[in-house]
Structure 1
Amino acid sequence: MASRRPSVVVTRRLPPPVEQRLAELFDVRLRDTDAPMTRAELAQAMRDAEVLVPSVTDRIDAALLARAGDALRLIAQYGAGVDNIDVRSARSRGILVANTPGVVTDDTADMTMALILAVTRRIPEGLATMQAGRWDGWAPTAFLGGRISGRRLGILGMGRIGQAVACRARAFGMQIHYHNRSRLRPEVETPLEATYWESLDAMIARMDILSINCPHTPETFHLLNARRLKMVKRNAVIVNTSRGEVIDENALVRGLAAGEIAGAGLDVYEQGQTLNPRLRDLPNVVLLPHMGSATLEGRIEQGEKVIINIKTYADGHRPPDLVIPGMV
């Protein structure tokens, strides 16, 4: 039977309002540094806690779950994605897994549009010129980018975030196209004026901008592989605010370096925080440090969802954001 104040271990520093509320409600051990836990620290936390609050940077695989203490009954992920957790192994050991879906939809969609504009309008180049004091004044041919109105935007993954990107892109006058596991219902698709493509290959070959908004699963690993990247138009731009593993990064680098792809805006990377050094050398790439969801409002909302999941569990009920293994 869960206690009224379950023992909770948090693996990363969280916004102060979230930490304060956690301390008020639970017997919580907070993280006093923003550095990720080592594997040994994570294993110890899983031996000590009844509830673990990890982030998407904490890899909780079957081997680590096998070392968990008998008290661990809930992993309340601080984040929507759960590909860092072996959910099946957790559930087989009687450990529930919850997450925080839907919180960062607007924040990530905003960042997607920011990257589209940054790449097509060459914003980082202009910023670097100003910061270096190299601006010689306005010129008719300086920093010529491209207009996004009228361009065809192909969205890979039309879930919450993909639909939010579509809404924003329509306001910029873009044509909306999408590929998804299944076609949207007419009442969702029609207001977006979105065109569904059953064939991903056919869509990719015709788009001006590709936005990656699908989760990382075994089926989406290298969804944009070397073969498909060869199909992309030479003047096309690729933006990824989802998961780095969806794109074959080495093939993307080759295409960008050869001028076969016009540009890319990336907030996520195939090897996590280990950045492919060749990406830094490409002038047609905008790189961000996985900050697509980084708003104070969003981080606090994530914390509130974590707290609700823990409190509901502690009260003897099913957490509202329980992750079902078959749905991952």
Structure 2
Amino acid sequence: MQPHILVTRRIFPETIERLRAHAVVDWHDADTPLSPAELVQRLQGKVAVLGSSTERFDAELLAQCPQLKAVCLLTVGYNNVDLAACAERGVAVSHAPDVLTETTADFGFALMLAAARRVSESEHFLRAGRWGDWSIDLFAGAEVHGRVLGVLGMGRIGQAIARRAHRGFDMPVLYSNRSPLPAQREAELGARWVDRSTLLQQSDHVMVVTPYTPQTHHLVGAAELALMKPTATLTNIARGGVVDDAALAQALSEGRLAAAGLDVFEGEPEVHPALLRCANVVLTPHIASATQGTRRAMCEVAADNLIAALHGQPLPTPVPGS
């Protein structure tokens, strides 16, 4: 008899057919997430789940789903999973850490450029029919080439961004991380480790790519924003909650920060109303990994892990420490 599994969101049908060769698949073929109660109900009798970042797999859920033995995420982030509770109950956890690195770095750089060069503002201006005579300072934004980039979080994506900045835009790179990179790697990326305060004070553009944990909640808040240059930009492609959205909106509206680019938000899909009122922020709906190839690869990595779990094999990409 085949084991039963749950897929919590609409994904590519090819991945579903692949999973059906190994298990009976209960597929929530919709873009609306399951409520916590629905998720528990659908997990009854399931030994594994292919999930996303929108479901919460915590101790309360695990206690109600005793047969669950594997949580396989199609995302790189896993702050929605209680790893300690999973370890206690012997539930394996996987994510998709490698396949979206370059795509996400591309998007982060694009978002930074759009914020610095006021792309969103100027497009809205044009669409509203307000383009008239040319002026010397019409949507004059911030320089990017040769300016200092600060990277908060120097994992795979942070290093991919630093590589683009160093090689393509001749930008000196400062970074803050739990520990410095090897000297040779720093040289390759044109990067130098500094403490977070120094990074914020000296950078012309700051990119946030650190994982979300209780320790990184509001890593960039009012005090940190006050350290930044008023001409600087802030780009967040990490997770909502790493940046204090309310404090950021206030800094933007008061002219204490030039611009921001945000792909992630606290409480998403809700966006802080004050951010929506700021013209100098580029807002996108958590799409940094959104290319056809990358999204398909994310689903396939999650399926690889789930199939391995069903057959009692080591997970190809387990969450660190799980």
Q: TM-score range by the shorter chain?
A: over 0.9
Q: Which residue of 2 aligns with 1:192?
A: 189
Q: Is residue 55 of structure 1 aligned with residue 52 of structure 2?
A: yes
Amino acid at match of 2:49: L
Q: Which residue of 1 aligns with 2:12?
A: 15
* Separation of aligned partners in 2, 1:127 and 1:48: 51
CA contact (8 A) 1:88 1:325 kept: no
Structure 2 length-normalised TM: 0.95
Alignment CA distance shift 1:130-1:25 (3 Å): farther
Q: Which residue of 2 aligns with 1:35?
A: 32
Q: Which residue of 1 aligns with 2:130?
A: 134
CA contact (8 A) 2:50 2:306 kept: no
Q: Which residue of 2 aligns with 1:172?
A: 169
Amino acid at match of 1:289: P
Measured after TM superposition, the shift of residue 140 of structure 1 is 4.1
Measured after TM superposition, the shift of residue 36 of structure 1 is 0.2
Q: Is residue 86 of structure 1 aligned with residue 82 of structure 2?
A: yes
CA contact (8 A) 1:76 1:309 kept: yes
Aligned-pair identity in percent equals: 38
* Separation of aligned partners in 1, 2:137 and 2:187: 40
Measured after TM superposition, the shift of residue 54 of structure 1 is 1.3
CA contact (8 A) 1:17 1:300 kept: no
RMSD: 1.6
Q: Which residue of 1 aligns with 2:229?
A: 233
Amino acid at match of 2:46: A
Structure 1 length-normalised TM: 0.93
CA contact (8 A) 1:257 1:282 kept: yes
Measured after TM superposition, the shift of residue 236 of structure 1 is 0.7
Q: Is residue 6 of structure 1 aligned with residue 3 of structure 2?
A: yes
What SS class does the counterpart of residue 260 from structure 2 fall into? strand
Measured after TM superposition, the shift of residue 131 of structure 1 is 2.7
What SS class does the counterpart of residue 286 from structure 1 fall into? strand
What SS class does the counterpart of residue 84 from structure 1 fall into? coil
Q: Which residue of 1 aligns with 2:148?
A: 152
* Separation of aligned partners in 1, 2:72 and 2:279: 40
Give unpaired runs (5+ residues) of structure 2: none
CA contact (8 A) 1:151 1:174 kept: yes
* Separation of aligned partners in 2, 1:138 and 1:256: 26
Amino acid at match of 1:236: A
Q: Which residue of 2 aligns with 1:207?
A: 203
Identify the range of structure 1 (11-20 vs 35-44) with the bigger mean alpha-carbon deviation.
Answer: 11-20
Amino acid at match of 2:185: V
Identify the range of structure 1 (11-20 vs 214-223) with the bigger mean alpha-carbon deviation.
Answer: 11-20
Amino acid at match of 2:150: G
1:61-89, Cα deviation, whole Å (9 max, x unpaired): 21111111x32111111211110011110
CA contact (8 A) 2:11 2:29 kept: no
Amino acid at match of 1:285: V
What SS class does the counterpart of residue 206 from structure 2 fall into? strand
CA contact (8 A) 1:264 1:286 kept: yes
Alignment CA distance shift 1:10-1:137 (3 Å): farther
1:75-113, Cα deviation, whole Å (9 max, x unpaired): 111211110011110121121111111111111111111
CA contact (8 A) 1:80 1:99 kept: yes
1:122-155, Cα deviation, whole Å (9 max, x unpaired): 1112222333333336554322223211110000
Give unpaired runs (5+ residues) of structure 1: none
Q: Is residue 295 of structure 1 aligned with residue 291 of structure 2?
A: yes
Measured after TM superposition, the shift of residue 324 of structure 1 is 4.1
Amino acid at match of 1:251: A
* Separation of aligned partners in 1, 2:67 and 2:197: 49
* Separation of aligned partners in 2, 1:114 and 1:17: 30
Alignment CA distance shift 1:202-1:316 (3 Å): same
Q: 2:245 aligns with which of 249, 261, 267?
A: 249
Q: Which residue of 1 aligns with 2:67?
A: 71
Amino acid at match of 1:200: R
Alignment CA distance shift 1:141-1:249 (3 Å): closer
Q: State how many pairs are aligned.
A: 321
